[in-house]
Each structure stands twice: as C-alpha cells, then as structure tokens.
Amino acid sequence: MQLAFVLYKYFPYGGLQRDFMRIAQICQQRGHVVRVYTLRWEGSLPQQFEVVLVPVKALSNHRRNEKFTAWVQADLERRPVDRVVGFNKMPGLDVYYAADPCYEHKAQTLRNALYRYGGRYKHFAKYEQAVFSPATRTEILMISEVQQPLFMKHYRTPAERFHLLPPGIAADRRAPADADAIRAEFRREFGLSNEDLLLVQIGSGFKTKGLDRSIKAIAALPASIRSRTQLMVIGQDDAAAFQSQAKALGIGDRVCFLKGRDDVPRFLLGADLLIHPAYSENTGTVLLEALVAGLPVLTTEVCGYAHYIEDADCGLVAPSPFEQNALNDMLKRMLEDGKARARWKAQGLAFADQADLYSLPEKAADVILGETS
C-alpha cells in the first residue's frame, strides 16, 4: 500500500516524532511505501521515505495549519494513497495517533468562557471534532487510557474506533549487561563522585514538564544534601526563565541545561533519579525509559504512565492536587535513602523483564495496515 503520514513538524528528540518514525519504519519494513507531509523537518532526511515539505506560511499557527491541510488534501487528490495517518488532529484522516490530550476538555475546564470565542479555540475545536465526531470514520490509536473517556464524553465517539496501544519503549533504553561500566565512565566524564547525587529531567517543554517545581524542590533540600546534588536538564526549549529562577533561589550552580541529544540512555544509567513533576502529560514516555534503565522515578499523578511507576514500585508518585511541599519531602526522602533507590532500581528492572512496554510501533502498524485479528 501507499501510506501518507502527516505531522506539522519533525525533530529528532520529540516523543511524538520518535513514535512516528518508528511506526513509519515498521510499515516500510512490511513492504509498504511511505510518503510524509510536514511543514518542517530537522535532522537528516530518511532515504526510505518520500518527505514532502509543504510550502505554506501564515501569521498565526491556526491559519498556517489550515493552509497546510488544504495543500496536503490537494496533493492527495493528485496523488492518491491507500491510508492517511495523522499525528496531529486535522480533517481527512483514516487513522489518528492520539499523542495529544482532549483539547475540548482543557478548554472547558482550564479556560474562561471568553476563550471559546477566539479564533484559536474555534480552529482547534473544529480540527478535533473532525477526528472524533461520530460522523467521521477515523480510527484512533490511543496511548493514554485516561483520555479515551474524555473524548467519548465530548464527542460521543463510538468505542470501537479506539485502539489502546501498549507503550513503545525503544530497546536501547533498557539497561545493557555493561550498565555498571557505562555508569562509571559517565560519572568520570562529568566529574561525579560516588557521594554526588545526579538528578535528570528530560523532555522539551520545560514549563509543562514542571521544571519550575523541580528547581524549587532542589532549593528546599537540606544544605547537606543540596550541596552534593546536581540537576541536568535535557531538552529543546528556552532555558532563560528557569536559569534565572535557579539563580534567584541560590542554586544556579546546581542546575545544568543541555540541548536535546542522542545519548540519553547514558544519562539514565549515570543518574541517581529522574524527576518529572509535570503539570500535564498525556503519557510520559521518559518515565518508562527510566524504569527499564533501572533509574528510580519521582513524578506526578497526572502523567498517563505514572501508574507504571506504582505498578513496578520503582519510585514515588506525587498525588493530585499537587502540593509543592509534598514534592519537596518526597525528593528529600528519595535522595537520603540509598537502600530504597537500590530497591526501586531492582524492582524496575524486574518489571521491565515481564511487562509489555515495547510493542507500540508494531501494534500501531497492525491497525494502520488492517492486520489486527
């Protein structure tokens, strides 16, 4: 079959983008032809795909999205395909990969009534309805079981159109046989002793991921722990406001910002704790990447994958409603207790051996290609 994959932008370090790439590669490996429509592509272009950079511009994101959709639909009329697979909500999709939460629910619960009179709201609500309305036939690949009831509530989407996928953690995130040697070399490279405590926070979108909460929690640590604790932040975002926050709280020298990079597994093996106190998170793939690497996790209940941390008993989950003091206390306890961290590591690795945390790309390709049983 000829398949068209559609997404607004591709960059190598985004969770949605990495899922797209792996799903498209599985489809291609099964003998199908892949065409990709996007506004922007960062990184090397894959030789096995036809990548179409759509030449549209606009002053606002929603107007640009509309021009993008019209351009893609016109091209598809000239060059038809067998399936159109979208990684952003838009009209005309045969299959939608639901990486984003329910927009209508957020608009009704987190915004005031005037927000729903604006052009931005009307655009995104219309595009979401084009996917989830009972009048359409789009098959929906769900990665968060928490979101399905919200879509069904707001749109009355038939249940049979939803396909809940398992997580899709890449094999290179699992702790290898020489994990201890990799950890030792990593800590030598960054000048970390056995007494030093390294926290990592990984993911673009620092505000949504709760980086401000992490910085506050580190600043609240007792001096004896804080003086040997460092936070490395990895992601593509503007760090200026968070650098200022850390400096104002007296821990500017304790927080290091790194751009998105390809060697994240080394950081997962070299660190002592992943901190991820997100404000909202459809899934939180990095939580499971830490779990399968044996890295204890401190996260918030709102993350779709937070329940795996509780199921595996490989860290702590801050309950909702969020309280900064509770996060501060959890971080202090986790850093003070080396035996607990060793236990969480062992329990995470054991869970990784028996749970299906890996088959998302294959199961998604089954739905796209109509190969489900």
Between 222 and 45, the more confident residue is: 222
Instruction: Please tell me which residue, 46 or 270, carries the higher pLDDT value.
Output: 270
Task: Read off the pLDDT of each residue in 293-302 and give the average, rounded to a whole number.
Answer: 97
Same domain, 127 and 222: no
Question: How high is the pLDDT of residue 172?
Answer: 81
How large is the average pLDDT for residues 290-298? 98
Read off the pLDDT band of 292 (50, 70, 90): very high
144 with 195, same domain: the answer is no
131 & 203 share domain = no
Query: What are the structure tokens assigned to 67, written together?
Result: 């021009």
125/35 same-domain check: yes
Domain presence at residue 305:
yes
Assess whether pLDDT exceeds 70 at residue 349.
yes
One-letter amino acid at 229 equals T
Whether residue 155 is found in the same domain as residue 6:
yes
297 shares its domain with 185: yes
> Tell me: the pLDDT tens digits for 2-30?
999 999 999 988 889 999 999 999 999 99
> What CATH number is associated with residue 85?
3.40.50.2000
According to the model, what pLDDT value does residue 372 have?
77
- 338 pLDDT band, cuts 50/70/90, is very high
Please state the rounded mean pLDDT for residues 315-322: 97
Is 313 in contact with 344 (CB distance < 8 Å)?
yes
Q: Residue with structure tokens 């795909």?
A: 49
Does the pLDDT value for residue 169 go beyond 70?
yes
In this structure, is residue 310 part of a structural domain?
A: yes
Confirm whether 373 is domain-assigned: no
Query: Which DSSP symbol is given to 303?
Result: B
- Does residue 146 lie within any of the structural domains? yes
Do 133 and 225 contact (CB within 8 A), yes or no? no
Based on the fold, state whether residues 238 and 157 are members of the same structural domain. Answer: no
| pLDDT at residue 373, as a whole number | 61
Percent of the chain exceeding pLDDT 90 equals: 92
Q: Please report the pLDDT score of residue 311 as a whole number.
A: 97
Structure tokens at 299: 């996260």
- pLDDT value, residue 56: 97
Listing DSSP states for 156-225 in one string gives: ---GGGEEEPPP---GGGS--TTHHHHHHHHHHHTT--TT-EEEEEE-S-TTTTTHHHHHHHHHTS-HHH
Q: How far apart are CA 121 and CA 236, in angstroms?
A: 26
Sorting pLDDT into bands at 50, 70 and 90, what band is 145?
Answer: confident
> What pLDDT sits at residue 260?
83
Cβ(299)–Cβ(234) below 8 Å: no
Is residue 185 pLDDT above 90, yes or no? Answer: yes
For the chain, how many structural domains are there in total? 2
Does residue 146 share a domain with residue 233? no
CB atoms within 10 A of CB 320: 10
Query: Is the pLDDT assigned to residue 258 strictly greater than 80?
Result: yes
Q: What is the pLDDT of residue 218?
A: 98
- 363 & 302 share domain: no
What average pLDDT score do residues 247-258 get? 97
> How many CB atoms within 10 Å of residue 333?
12
Average pLDDT, whole number, for the chain? 96
Q: Is residue 244 part of a domain?
A: yes
Domain containing 57: what range?
Answer: 2-166+358-368
Please write the tens of the pLDDT for every residue from 203-228. Answer: 989 999 999 999 999 999 999 999 99
Supply the pTM of this predicted model.
0.87
Best CA proximity match to 203, nearest among 276, 97, 146: 276
Q: In terms of domains, do 200 and 160 share one? A: no
Q: What is the mean pLDDT of residues 317-333?
A: 98
Residue 310 and residue 210 in one domain: yes
CA–CA dist 116, 108 (Å, integer): 8
- Residue 275 clears pLDDT 80, i.e. is over it: yes
Q: Are residues 13 and 26 in the same domain?
A: yes
Q: CA 249 → CA 216, 232, 355, distances in Å? A: 8, 17, 41
Q: Helix H segments across the chain?
A: 15-29, 61-78, 103-110, 119-132, 148-155, 179-189, 211-219, 223-226, 240-248, 264-270, 285-293, 306-312, 324-336, 338-354, 360-368
Asked whether residue 300 is assigned to any structural domain, the reply reads yes
Average pLDDT over residues 147-163: 97
